[in-house]
Chains A and B, each alone.
Chain A
């Protein structure tokens, strides 16, 4: 097993007595593209910023490349790229100057890569950032994060203002990085369909908890929706392990249940127990996300 790029252990964070992050433990390995999803206020940004050491954890710890996030060496910091939710571009600088300025801080700054990507992504580098559109600013601030060829790239909602074509190009660039197998990406987004494509791992955040942490494929395979149709009214509660949601309708003879980690025999068992017809359906990531929050 390769050395983890990120190790988060029992990480909690409070702001003014409110716990925003609760006892989060996880790891990111080289080659991983981790997709972070959660409602607004679920703690995604706090998790990303705390594990990068922007502010001290209330308890627990995070390590980046084996170093404590609060005492990272310059060498470790130089291996990180970060795109914040709100870009930090200097309004009076042109894209060229902005890139050159950031490049000063790194030894391995890849000007050639950035110029190529700027062309591909259609970022007008000759304009001041104050005159750029939201999408152009987002692309420029992503370029800056890629300049030092980071081994760990952390992106907080990087695609919200991008059009579908720009998003696709951006995702392909992320995959180039992940294809390297020694580099990793953590990527929060509300565009679940993007994460479903490129993320091999998913973190689902809810109320500061890391509710799900696992492979995208495993998540998809573990959550099933059951459609139950009975001749008699169905019980008010479904007595099954791992039920996420259960809704009855149409005179209580039809019901829908979402179940986590259901054994393969569950539909058959339920059909016999409830004297009903039970159909089992797999779910895409967006539906799973919605069911978890239902």
Chain B
């Protein structure tokens, strides 16, 4: 369900947080969806359980996840509509930064990058 890369420079809990945020924002994770338990996640990805619970707790404090006693974490009641465009843009920022970095290294012009991006996004050039 999630892609965690322990060897990335981005801490594992941060990767998980960003993925949950994106999946909730995009509607892939709908309200009420149960997330795997901390134990299962830690086992599947072979990472420290604290790493998973740290991500879950932070997502809970953001209001994205809800904890119910004795039950798995669940995606909180609808937030998608409440998320402003600005908030969603913030979530895609790390990917944009990476794109800008690569574009600069390849010395591609802003116009060229924008054109390619538009194509990928399915817009007419």
A residues sitting closer than 8 Å to B (CB atoms) are: 31, 33, 168, 171-172, 175-176, 178-179, 193, 196-200, 216-217, 220-221, 277, 279, 281-286
Contacts and interface: CB of A to CB of B under 8 A. Distances in A.
Q: Chain B interface residue count: which class?
A: 20 to 34
A196 B6 contact: yes
A285 B6 CA distance: 9
Consensus secondary structure, chain B interface: helix
Contacts of A172: 43, 46
A217 B42 contact: no
Given A33-B48, A175-B42, A178-B49, A279 B104 contact: yes
A179 B49 contact: yes
A200 B9 contact: no
Contact of A197 (B13, B46, B50, B101): B46
Nearest to A169: B46
A143 B49 CA distance: 22
B10 interface: yes
Contacts of A277: 104
Contacts of A168: 46
A282 B8 CA distance: 8
Given A193-B6, A279-B101, A31 B43 contact: no
A200 B53 CA distance: 12
A59 B8 CA distance: 39
B67 interface: no
A285 B7 contact: yes
Given A179-B39, A277-B104, A279-B101, A220 B9 contact: yes
A255 to B, nearest CB: 16
Interface in B49-63: 49-51
Contacts of B39: 179
Nearest to B11: A217
Contacts of B46: 168, 171-172, 175, 197-198
B5 to A, nearest CB: 9
B7 A193 contact: yes
B6 to A, nearest CB: 4
A199 B48 contact: yes
B47 interface: yes
A168 B44 CA distance: 10
Given A175-B43, A179-B42, A197-B47, 19 more contacts: A33-B48, A171-B46, A172-B43, A175-B46, A175-B47, A179-B49, A197-B6, A197-B46, A197-B48, A198-B46, A200-B48, A200-B50, A216-B11, A217-B11, A217-B14, A277-B104, A281-B9, A284-B7, A284-B8
